[in-house]
Structure 1
Amino acid sequence: MASLPVVNQPPHQCGALLDHLSRRVRTRSETVLAPLGLRPRHLLTLTVLRDHGSSTQQALAATLGIDSTNLVGLLNDLEADNLIERRRSPEDRRRHVVDLTDVGAKKLAKAELAMAAVEDEALAALTLEQREQLYSLLQQATATTDIAACVGAEDESVPPVMYR
């Protein structure tokens, strides 16, 4: 049996390690966010609204990389807790614009403190300098990801999600 040719592979593959680390972080994240009544997907939505401002539901779905039908359920959860507000777009009454409320901004700040502790646990073996380097490398790697191609969106004006 002939072996497959190896084309420009780095000496180490990162995918399995990134997957393992992300699973650990996600499990802990769910645990620390639950008392706040949030899930990781809620946190991401609130973060996008804070960092990018008001958004139409369609643009928000594309930015988050989720189906607009699933977004409605997610926004229903957040709106029920007064974390976001939906209103009709003045330009196009068929569209809804989503805004972060003051209550949502305060809840997001609490959640980010909880998430900082999770990150401290997960990255405890790294120095502060190494964490900054990891952050920079991950930003660089994700900056080349074409969000529109990943979700099949046609709207290239949708900004990619940037993490802090």
Structure 2
Amino acid sequence: MQGPPQFGSAFLLAQLGAHATQRFAERVADLGLTPPQTGLLRAIARRPGESQQVLAAELGTPPTRLVALVDGLEQQGLIERRRNPQDRRLYAVFLSDKGQETMAELAKAATAHENELMSALSTEERAVLRDLLARVAAGHDLRPGVHPGYRT
């Protein structure tokens, strides 16, 4: 008698990735955000005052897509665009006070998300898994912190 079918690591990663993506989208929807918006907020928090062009390049997204994301975040009062004093053709992007508060809420949501997904693993196992996944990602030239969904 055969046991249950064995699935490869790639399949299990894809399955877990789809599940993680869906659960994260649900969590950030509670904050009125989409996953791409949260990624942009994180990029702005890391590099306040960068131009939209630099942020688009960092995230690997077309500039027109980034403008739409920036517009949405600005309408929600989470970011501010200011003219760059060195080059008035460019806008520098900053988190607003509300955006900084939202980042604190996002950090809590991300921690809860991580803990939920990794609940079957010990602290040590989580560290080992993270290191292994980072090596696999690096082997495929994936940039840490940049979701491939930004490319579309």
Q: TM-score, normalised by structure 1?
A: 0.74
Residue of 111, 136, 142 corresponding to 2:106: 111
Aligned to 1:78: 73
Secondary structure, counterpart of 1:38 in structure 2: coil
User: Does 2:135 align with 1:135?
Assistant: no
CA RMSD of aligned residues (A): 2.2
Cα shift at 1:140 = 4.0
Secondary structure, counterpart of 1:93 in structure 2: strand
Cα shift at 1:143 = 4.8
User: Does 2:21 align with 1:26?
Assistant: yes
Q: 1:71–1:137: structure 2 CA closer, same or farther, 3 Å change rule?
A: same
Deviations 1:43-99 (A, max 9, x none): 111111112332110110111111110111101111111111111111111111111
Aligned to 1:53: 48
Runs of 4+ in 1 over 6 A off after TM superposition: none
Q: Contact 1:82–1:104 at 8 Å: present in 2 too?
A: yes
Cα shift at 1:146 = 4.8
Q: Tell me, in whole angstroms, the C-alpha distance in 2 between the residues paired with 1:144 and 1:52.
A: 26
Q: Tell me, in whole angstroms, the C-alpha distance in 2 between the residues paired with 1:56 and 1:146.
A: 24
Alignment length, in residue pairs?
140
Instruction: Percent identity, please.
Output: 36
Structure 1 residue ranges without an equivalent (≥5): 1-11, 148-159
